[in-house]
Amino acid sequence: GSMGAHTPCHLDSYGCNLVFQVQGRKRWHLFPPEDTPFLYPTRIPYEESSVFSKINVVNPDLKRFPQFRKARRHTVTLNPGQVLFVPRHWWHYVESIDPVTVSINSWIELEEDHQARVEEAITRMLVCALKTAEDPTNTRAWLNPTEVEETSHEVNCRYLNRAVSALFDHYRTSKVIEIQALRTNREDMKQEGLNVHNRTAVEQTGGQDVILGTGKWEAASPFGPDLVPVILSSEELPSERGGIFEGDGKDFVGKDGEHSGKLRCTKRQRMTSKSEDAVVEQIASNSSMAPSQTFISTDDLLDCLVNPQVTRIVAQLLIQGRSL
């Protein structure tokens, strides 16, 4: 990328991501999955495996998107030689801040990806069906530029069936492995019970009390000397301070030298419990502020049908129906 080049704020449907910065610097703005209702997700324009936010997170329109005030931004400037770990479904907006930037991404597959592929297949089928029916000659109006071509309903149907079959194959394989693991654990527990019984007998025979594990163990840090967490940024919005948040390695550790993770986890749990309420508040705020609109376009309908929350429910119902 060149200076000023950026990706819109989005999350990746599949896996987690490791990003290695080779040359130049890139600034990352990250938001946790629990903040999804505050980021107004959309699948239009459509891009396979990418869920976009309707918000420009570096200059948000808070009148149009008031719930974004509740989003918790984490920022970090990635320097050459550093690697950033992006957990599954974390939102991110990335911008190049040097004349030339080069980075390498590596996605790591996860078990959850099997259902995500079913959800992606459903999304693609609905998007292609509705948008090509509206104007099959103008595909660029509904495809993201990174999507090279539209696909037929027949191709999309095969894609959906392959995704569902792969999911069930994974379930069957996982079940066999789980049964084998349970058997192994039972044998290990029996052996451990025998070892404890024999060790106790030896200690009692010696006529002396044996104290095990008297050495002092220091609490291990969850991060090693070369790993630092990307912490929560200031509550201020960029538009309010006239700039963009920025953090470096010095910001990751508190003044007392300890990592401040527990308090932030507690806050994350509180936010998770309120995620459903946030959706309701978002709908209420939109309906009260938006001008009256009598015409509903294909995009309006499609934006609701392929909302990630709706797609997830459809995928679960589809999987349950196939497994009966």
Beta bridge partners of 10: 52, 92
Predicted pLDDT of residue 180:
73
Q: Are residues 14 and 140 in the same domain?
A: no
Give me the number of domains the chain comprises. Answer: 2
Among residues 109, 140, 171, the one where a domain terminates is 109
pLDDT grade for 310, boundaries at 50, 70 and 90: very high
Question: Does 164 or 216 have the greater pLDDT score?
Answer: 164
What distances in angstroms separate CA 138 from CA 128, 132, 150, one per listed residue?
12, 8, 10
What is the rounded average pLDDT for all residues in the chain?
76
Calculate what percentage of the chain has a pLDDT beyond 90: 41
Assigned domain for 253 exists = no
Mean pLDDT of 70-82: 96
Q: Are residues 5 and 87 in the same domain?
A: yes
Among residues 109, 124, 155, the one where a domain terminates is 109
Of 162, 159, 165, 167, whose CA–CA distance to 128 is shortest?
Answer: 159
Q: Are residues 161 and 101 in the same domain?
A: no
pLDDT grade for 251, boundaries at 50, 70 and 90: very low
Mean pLDDT of 82-87: 96
Q: For residue 199, is pLDDT > 60? A: no
pLDDT grade for 72, boundaries at 50, 70 and 90: very high
For residue 130, how many other CB atoms are within 10 A of its CB? Answer: 16
Assigned domain for 198 exists = no
pLDDT grade for 260, boundaries at 50, 70 and 90: very low
Q: Are residues 135 and 154 in the same domain?
A: yes
Predicted pLDDT of residue 18:
96
Mean pLDDT of 29-33: 97
Alpha-helical regions (H) of 108-222: 113-134, 153-205
pLDDT grade for 209, boundaries at 50, 70 and 90: very low
Assigned domain for 123 exists = yes
Assigned domain for 139 exists = yes
Among residues 56, 75, 109, the one where a domain terminates is 109
Structural domain span for residue 186: 111-193+303-323
Q: Are residues 130 and 102 in the same domain?
A: no
Read off the tokens for 17. Answer: 């991501």
| Poorest-pLDDT segment among 97-101, 107-111, 178-182, 221-225 | 221-225
Asked if 163 contacts 113 with a C-beta cutoff of 8 angstroms, the reply is no
**DSSP annotation string for 204-257:** HHTTS------SPPPPPPSS-TT-----B--SS-HHHHTS-----GGGGS-TTS
Rounded CA-CA distance 314/318 in Å is: 6
| Poorest-pLDDT segment among 35-44, 114-123, 231-240 | 231-240
**DSSP annotation string for 3-50:** TT-EEEEEEESSSEEEEEEEES-EEEEEE-GGGGGGG-EE--SB-TTE
Predicted pLDDT of residue 113:
94
Q: Are residues 176 and 310 in the same domain?
A: yes
- Count of positions (residues) in the chain: 324
Assigned domain for 135 exists = yes
